[in-house]
Each structure stands twice: as C-alpha cells, then as structure tokens.
Amino acid sequence: MVAEGRDITTVIAPEADLRILMTADDEVRVARRAGEGADVATVRQAVLGRDKTDSAVSSFHEAADGVLTLDTTDLTIEEAVTAVLDRAAEARA
C-alpha cells in the first residue's frame, strides 16, 4: 500500500515495514502544485499557510525514528517512483 499524508508514518501506519518521508524545497512544491493549472500566488499561500498551521501541532518536516527521508527537490516523478521502489526492494531483502 502507498499512502500520502502528513501523519501516515507516525499515526496511521507507524508499524509499516517501510516508511518514507518525501520532502522537497518549498518553491518546488508550490511550482508542482501550480503546474496543475492553479495560480502560483494562490497555491503558495495555500501550501505554505497550511505548513505554518500544521507545524504548530506536528513536526511533519522531520522524519520520525525508523522513517527514511527522500528529498525529491531535484527528482522527476519517474525518478522519485524509482527511488521509492529501490527502497522497497532494499527493505524486502
């Protein structure tokens, strides 16, 4: 199962065999979201605003114990998928 969300690795599936925190530079995250057809300024405000609100109650930018971090800032979607699949293969081995 692959799941996305801020609490997945710590609250929803803390006992999963493989847990990966995928990160990216703020501006890259904004550009990716805006690339879906939204206004960049509106997306920036929504994304970074949510980060600010959520950071008051959660350290979602920091990997919990046993969670791998994958910085996708300079990766294409294909490269990110490959990196996750590689880590899954390593975990099975």
Name every residue whose Cβ is closer than 8 Å to that of residue 31 and which is 6 or more positions away in sequence. Answer: 40
Domain-wise residue ranges, the chain:
8-92
Structure confidence at residue 18 (pLDDT): 94
Structure confidence at residue 56 (pLDDT): 77
Structure confidence at residue 62 (pLDDT): 82
Which residues partner with 71 through β-bridges?
23
Q: How far apart are CA 51 and CA 73, in angstroms?
A: 17
Q: Are 20 and 2 in contact (CB under 8 A)?
A: no
Q: Give tens-digit pLDDT for 21-37.
A: 999 999 999 999 898 67
Structure confidence at residue 54 (pLDDT): 82
Q: What tokens were used for 45? A: 């405000």
Structure confidence at residue 44 (pLDDT): 94
Please give the model's pTM, rounded to 2 decimal places.
0.80
CATH of domain 8-92: 3.40.50.300
pLDDT along the chain (93 residues), means of 10: 84 91 93 86 93 80 88 97 96 89
What b/e readout covers 4-22, taking b as 16+ CB neighbours within 10 angstroms? Answer: eebebbbeeeeeeebbbbe
Q: How far apart are CA 70 and CA 23, in angstroms?
A: 6
